[in-house]
Structure 1
Amino acid sequence: MRGNLGWLLAALALGGCSSPFERMWSGLEQCRFDGLYLDPESGEPGNPALARYRPWKVEEGFAWFRVEEHYRDIPVSGFVVPASSFDVHLLFIPLPLDEARRQFMHYFGTDFSDVRPYRDGTAPLLTRNRGDLETSVLDCTRPEEDDED
């Protein structure tokens, strides 16, 4: 029993007690995700954690999900992942932009308002959702890489 407790404590320490949703979105601060997409041919998730969720729509190369989750302690009401070659990942935050910025500053030390790293694809940009002003969007869009050498 004591050995099992040691393994459990070690696993919790290494996992940081993060939720499966948080682990799925690890890399958010740099807009680098491990398999966070739906395969455009099969519709299969590239990340096993994504299989826990079902998109409510898949269109124009994007899979849209409605959820009631948290990233750190920030509420998340939905997300978008690629179902094509586009490298676009969005989190919908059910907070007005000013409150969302305060939350991100508290938990991340930045409010993700700087457009320069966003344009480089190295950080997300937190914006107002044009379709719902009471919701904010954390946008991780990476520029398409040229295949030319």
Structure 2
Amino acid sequence: MTDPAPTLRSASGFDLTPPDDREREALEADLSPEEKRVLLAHGTEAPFCGVLLGEKRAGVFCCRECGLPLFRAGTKFESGTGWPSFTQPVDEAHVTAITDRSYGMVRTETQCARCGSHQGHVFPDGPPPTGLRYCINSVALTFVPEGEALPDPLGRGDGTA
């Protein structure tokens, strides 16, 4: 019998172990067609129509697919672009940056570090303190008000917002 693979944890204590094939199938089965288009096929929702654009309560924005906390409400700002924008992730290890050369541009795509789902892009034109603008699709996120349990579709018991 072999030992199970070690759990990968971020500095903030969250399990970053990618879902196995069975878990991934269950996560993807729970997504709407629009969520699948954005999260799995690297799509983009139309600007100014995302349900989280105007969200101003304290809390955490988590990956819609796997529930990993990605951005705190306190880092959200109005960028005027039509998508929720943030200055920094909850933990740098929770968001993976990938060079995106689609559509004749060079941009930095952001993906959930645990499940690999497409979240949006990050640009170097944000406000202090980071100067970054994480431009994220609403449909790629789930908002959890402060004090409520984080989504835990993988059963990893990572905590509350």
RCO higher in structure (CA 8 A, sep ≥6): 2
Q: TM-score, normalised by structure 1?
A: 0.27
Considering only CA atoms, is the larger Rg found in Structure 1 or Structure 2?
1
Query: Higher helix proportion, which one?
Result: 1
Q: TM-score, normalised by structure 2?
A: 0.26
